A = this chain, B = another copy of it.
Amino acid sequence: MVSEIIAIGSELLTPQRVDTNSLYLTEQLNALGVEVVTKSVIGDDRDRLADAVRRAVSRSGLVILTGGLGPTEDDVTREAVAAALDRGQKYHSEIADQIEQRFRQMGRKMAEINRRQAFIIEGAAILPNDRGTAPGQWIEESDHVVVLLPGPPNELKAMFLRQCLPRLARIVPKQVIQSIVMRVAGMPESDLDQLISPVYKKYENPVTTILAAAGDIQVHLRAQCATEGDAQALLAEVAGPIELLLGDRIYSRNGDPLEATVGEMLRKQASTLAVAESCTGGLLAERITSVPGSSDYFGGGFVTYTRRMKTELLGVSEQLLEERGAVSAETAEAMAAGARRRTSATYALAITGIAGPGTGGENAPVGLVYTAVADAAGCRVAHRQFLGDRQRIRQFSVQMAMDLLRRRIAGL
């Protein structure tokens, strides 16, 4: 079975935006053994979209449309698909009631135009949307399936997982796909690839994919076999040598991000963590608290963006800041020690550096970052010179700090 993805929205035809929903959908479809053969982006143009849908269903067994299900006149997906498939639409008052209810829960009155979202193409199954107002639609004809999904990624993902995957599993020929995701911090992608490619290059199955973000690399192995046992055996054959080569640079073998891995280590130890951040401006705390339940080990922290705040909130001495500079190993250490003292946490993690674009008055190059971890036994500091823009340097810094903590907790 082959599939096509059509993203709808004039904003996706501007120079600023790309359709990223199709990446998520492609990953999910590939995992089922379904290939994506064409992706299109079409503006809010009913006739052009209807034409595209007609053509897609004539060639491909699965056509997924994303976006254009909103309440406004711009939202043409329902109408275009109805026209392409030569079907009518029916108003479902129970959907309108649910949407009204959703608005009421937020203490708001539903605007009348939201009723447009209660129109469903004749014969379509309704895909409930528990994260937004637009329901999805699933239309099965003899030789193809057309699926309408909402554009907001969080709504689309939840709906695809809960509503579409079970339906697809029913119609797609069964294959077992098993995968392993190893995650590695603090290593350039090219170094990692040079190290492990002699292993994975020998195999077409499992498929190996390497995904790199700032300071974080994911190694995906995906085996596709007739039975689960075959897939597992194949994965073990390839993953074993890779794990040996990467050793303790692997921080996660289940796909968990670094903040979840470190959180789990803290929870097991019944330890607590505090942070003190300068150039990352809250990103470290934000990443740590993005994990549900992080209040079990994370008490809080400080964003000390100026020298004065480092002194007032963390007790970093003015003399030290003057002599060594705010971006220095000594300041990172003093920030960690100060945060630990003021919160009584088991570990305190500090970051100070220059994220750019300017140097912020500090006599240090853009991208120079110090991170320190303090615990009862003392303090450990690391520094790196990163390249990239402000956002990327901040992400690298947070990743480096969390990996320093991981190594400290694990005694590496």
A240 in the interface (beta carbon within 8 A):
no
Contact residues in B for A112 (Cβ distance below 8 Å): 194
Chain B: CB-nearest residue to A38 = B42
When each residue 267-283 of chain A gets 1 if its CB lies under 8 Å from chain B and 0 otherwise, what string results? Answer: 00000000101001111
A289 in the interface (beta carbon within 8 A):
yes
Contact residues in B for A391 (Cβ distance below 8 Å): 154, 290
Contact residues in B for A37 (Cβ distance below 8 Å): 13, 42-43, 45, 48
A142 in the interface (beta carbon within 8 A):
no
Q: Compute how far the CA of A59 lies from the CA of B12 in the bound complex, rounded to whole angstroms.
A: 20
Within 8 A of B (CB), among A349-363: 356-358, 360
A113 in the interface (beta carbon within 8 A):
yes
Is the pair A392, B305 in contact by a Cβ cutoff of 8 Å? no
Contact residues in B for A36 (Cβ distance below 8 Å): 13
Q: Compute how far the CA of A210 lies from the CA of B75 in the bound complex, rounded to whole angstroms.
A: 11
Is the pair A209, B286 in contact by a Cβ cutoff of 8 Å? no
Secondary structure call for the A interface: mixed
A91 in the interface (beta carbon within 8 A):
no
Contact residues in B for A294 (Cβ distance below 8 Å): 281, 305
A173 in the interface (beta carbon within 8 A):
no
Contact residues in B for A43 (Cβ distance below 8 Å): 37-38
A73 in the interface (beta carbon within 8 A):
yes
Is the pair B342, A312 in contact by a Cβ cutoff of 8 Å? yes
Is the pair B299, A288 in contact by a Cβ cutoff of 8 Å? no
B18, B210, B343: which contacts A18 (Cβ < 8 A)? B18
A27 in the interface (beta carbon within 8 A):
yes
A68 in the interface (beta carbon within 8 A):
no
A97 in the interface (beta carbon within 8 A):
no
Within 8 A of B (CB), among A37-56: 37-43, 45, 48, 52, 55
Contact residues in B for A370 (Cβ distance below 8 Å): none
Is the pair A309, B343 in contact by a Cβ cutoff of 8 Å? yes
Is the pair B282, A106 in contact by a Cβ cutoff of 8 Å? no
Is the pair B15, A30 in contact by a Cβ cutoff of 8 Å? yes
Is the pair A106, B23 in contact by a Cβ cutoff of 8 Å? no
Given contacts A27-B15, A72-B193, A299-B308, contact A102 B387 (CB under 8 A): yes
Given contacts A190-B111, A385-B105, contact A305 B298 (CB under 8 A): yes
Q: Compute how far the CA of A37 lies from the CA of B133 in the bound complex, rounded to whole angstroms.
A: 27
B38, B293, B303: which contacts A275 (Cβ < 8 A)? B303
Q: List 26 A-B contacts (CB under 8 A).
A: A11-B220, A13-B36, A14-B220, A16-B211, A18-B18, A37-B42, A37-B43, A37-B45, A38-B48, A48-B59, A70-B190, A72-B193, A105-B387, A112-B194, A113-B193, A154-B389, A154-B391, A281-B286, A282-B286, A285-B286, A295-B306, A295-B360, A299-B304, A300-B302, A300-B303, A300-B309
